[in-house]
Structure 1
Amino acid sequence: MLEIKNLHVHFGVIHAIKGISLTVNDGEIVTLIGANGAGKTTTLRTISGLKKPTEGAIIFDGKDITNLTAQERVALGISHVPEGRRVFSSMTVLENLELGAYLRKDKDGIARDLEMVFERFPILAKRKKQAAGTLSGGEQQMLAMGRALMSRPKLLCLDEPSMGLAPLLVQEIFDIIKDINEKGTTVLLVEQNANMALQIAHRAYVMETGKITLSGTGKELLQSDEVKKAYLGG
């Protein structure tokens, strides 16, 4: 579904991504783990069109999307939940969700998907007329994920969904990610909670200073001494 070939990204003179290649197959959860500043967020932003690469190619569903705009990528089926949630705080929960479907014209489909989001996140149904900025961190994360699902993505890119959440909520968010995947959406997950991410991932890549240093199945990397020492506190 997604293939990245020899991707390089610069911020001025800083070489942030140094020739990485990775694949995400249809139906998978693939996770990128690594320390702060490893290049994980930059990789996601480049995939979703928020950052231009200086070299390399991004192939999605067999099509080269390297030079497409972020909006064109949403239309093709890529949706991005950014780090820090980025909900529209002065707008209601319902308005945030409706914005997720801004490229769609199928009113009946949008109404059905709204119901689906409210079924998956019952708290959002209770809070639908509330300003998004008044929600708790966990509720805002659910809203950001619900908003992304409103575009009916083939690939959902999640950037640090568990950041700043209480442990009980972290478990709930990971259960939701697994459920979204099992219902047919492919997931690319950037996450500092390596232990939780590797437990639900089919495959994983370890990033260090803009390079991929290790890859394997989630189970393989959970057992890796290198990964245990660096990311799992073992």
Structure 2
Amino acid sequence: MGVMLSVKNLDVYYGSIHAIKNISFEVAEGEIVTLIGANGAGKTTTLHSISGLVKPKSGEITFCGNNLMAVEPHKIIRLGLAQVPEGRRIFAKMTVQENLEMGAYIRNDGGAISEDYEKIFERLPRLKERRRQIAGTLSGGEQQMLAIGRALMCNPKMLLLDEPSMGLSPLLVGEIFEIIKDVNKTGVTVLLVEQNAKKALEIADHAYVLETGSIAMQGDADELANNEKVRKAYLGG
């Protein structure tokens, strides 16, 4: 298992605010890696740096041997890196099916695309029942499923997930995390940014704890889940 994503000495500023301070981490092929930390710790900024939405001041980001700092944001998805943004951002006025079609827009392998619809509907049966429904009328959990399904339609090697549990009931959070685990089992590598540290550590292989723009701790997810400091700060004792 080689390293799929490598972030080295990343520095990001917003004006004079030093938001990300010289962080380094990596994600090996086939893993689920999570970045956990309080609100404002820099988790989303890190993700946005990888997907090209934020321009870092310095550092290196490589994905499958490509220097992402040199790739235009809209071309990053063509390398096999798909992001499920915070707050889902589905196309609210389009149907479920049309949203999924938007996910496949970079592909030109028509036959395989229709197979992938079926795969996604198999994995997310609730979307199949609602394939003709207007996406804006779905529940929050269903919208999150749709955002994941749409990202999977571009057949990515790696999925970046930004706060997938946000605003969902505990029951739905469990369901979404099961879906992430299933997606990973099919061979998609996952980088997960999540405030729900407990859930994230349950499904991840490795974890990095961000505190005010720096990596405070890192290690195997189950080690961190049992670490006294992590438990106190992020797992409610």
Matched ranges for 1:1-234 at <5 A: 1-234=4-237
Aligned AA (1:69): E
1:132-175 deviation digits (Å, cap 9, x = unpaired): 10000000000000000001111100011111111111111111
Aligned AA (2:235): L
Secondary structure of 1:10's counterpart equals strand
Q: Quick one: distance in 1 between partners of 2:72 and 2:151? A: 17
Q: Deviation above 4 Å: which 4+ runs of structure 1?
A: none
1:178-228 deviation digits (Å, cap 9, x = unpaired): 111011000000111101100111000000011101000001100111100
1:81-107 deviation digits (Å, cap 9, x = unpaired): 011000010111111100011110111
Q: Quick one: distance in 1 between partners of 2:72 and 2:117? A: 26
State the Cα distance separating 1:67 from its structure 2 match. Answer: 2.1
Q: Quick one: distance in 2 between partners of 1:40 and 1:103? A: 27
Query: TM-score of the superposition, structure 1-length normalised?
Result: 0.98
Q: Alpha carbon RMSD of aligned pairs, Å?
A: 0.7
Worse-superposed segment, 160-169 or 25-34: 160-169
Secondary structure of 1:66's counterpart equals helix
Secondary structure of 1:130's counterpart equals coil
1:30-88 deviation digits (Å, cap 9, x = unpaired): 00000000000011111111111110010111221112112211000000001100001
Secondary structure of 2:25's counterpart equals strand
Gaps spanning 5+ residues in structure 1: where? none
Q: Quick one: distance in 2 between partners of 1:23 and 1:7? A: 12
Q: Quick one: distance in 1 between partners of 2:14 and 2:91? A: 27
Aligned AA (2:114): A
Q: Quick one: distance in 2 between partners of 1:38 and 1:95? A: 35
Q: Quick one: distance in 1 between partners of 2:232 and 2:224? A: 11
Query: TM-score of the superposition, structure 2-length normalised?
Result: 0.97
